[in-house]
Amino acid sequence: MQQNFENTSISIILPVFNEEKVIRRCIERLLSYCKEKTWDFEIIFVEDGCTDSTPSIVNKYALNESRVKMVNLPTRLGKGGSIISAVLHCQLKEYVAYMDSDLAADPSELERLLEYINDYDVILGSRILRENLSPIQRPLYRSFFSHTYSRIFRTLFRIPIQDPQCGLKLFRRDIITKLFCDITILGFAFDTDLIIKAYTQGLRVKEVPINWIHGKFSTVSVLNEIEAMGLDLLSIWYSSHLRWRQKRQVYPQKKGSIYGRLFFSFLSLSSKIKERPLKYPKLETYMSSLSQN
């Protein structure tokens, strides 16, 4: 890292759900690193319906450190809903990042993304792009799932992003409200929807290789998410294609092929796909309650 990031003003958002095994190490590492860099920072944990001691652990740190903050959601909103809630209703700093609480990507990896923040609006960490970095060591089934998802994503959307689902992303504050207001997928395909909406809005997007250590204590089951993420992915493509047919703004790609028309007709037969990215009552109710306070 050649640049000097000592004056960085950044909000770091971490959605948490039952993370008591890793949360202390997470907080200690984030505080240590950000203080060492003399950043103007805040760490925002979004508690998404925890049933363990995660909230009490975070609150103990928050009592002694004003830069540690907790957002408590009244109902589970998923990863995407948690991040959107923080983004739209917190007073954020110049740059905004979100990352996973197991710190599979160490906070130092933020510097790789910050190197490009003056020239881009959205910076994506990548576990698939390597350049001069060592290969990521992960279980075979997770690597297979990640690379398969990447291939399907690029085939469907023809967008040159290798790792849409990486949990480390960085944004300029001035674009974040409009971008996040446009997102409709709240689950784990939230990251994919975010990228599609960023391209739709003509934002400058950069993908950057990062170091990543597979988390041993992840609360996410890949097998449980495969069906949901598959449906989400197809729903994003369907809604984007529908948007294009309605002559509304959409990301640049070839949409007029016979294969695209046939695929759209096929997906139109599925109510699960057609209705999946519609309004989310839980999120809307929560947002309304915040607006009234």
Q: Which residues of 188-221 are buried (b: 16+ CB within 10 A; e: fewer)?
A: bbbbbbbbbbbbbeebebbbbbbbbeebeebeee
The rounded distance, in Å, linking the Cα atoms of 166 and 127 is: 7
Res 247: pLDDT? 85
Res 227: pLDDT? 82
The rounded distance, in Å, linking the Cα atoms of 289 and 283 is: 10
Q: Which two tokens stand for residue 168?
A: 């480390």
Res 218: pLDDT? 53
Contact between 9 and 93 under an 8 Å Cβ cutoff? The reply is yes
* Residues of the chain falling short of pLDDT 50: 1-2, 279, 281, 292-293
Res 1: pLDDT? 45
Q: What are phi and psi of 167, to 5 degrees?
A: -85, 10
Residue ranges and CATH numbers for the domains of the chain are 9-292 (3.90.550.10)
Res 250: pLDDT? 85
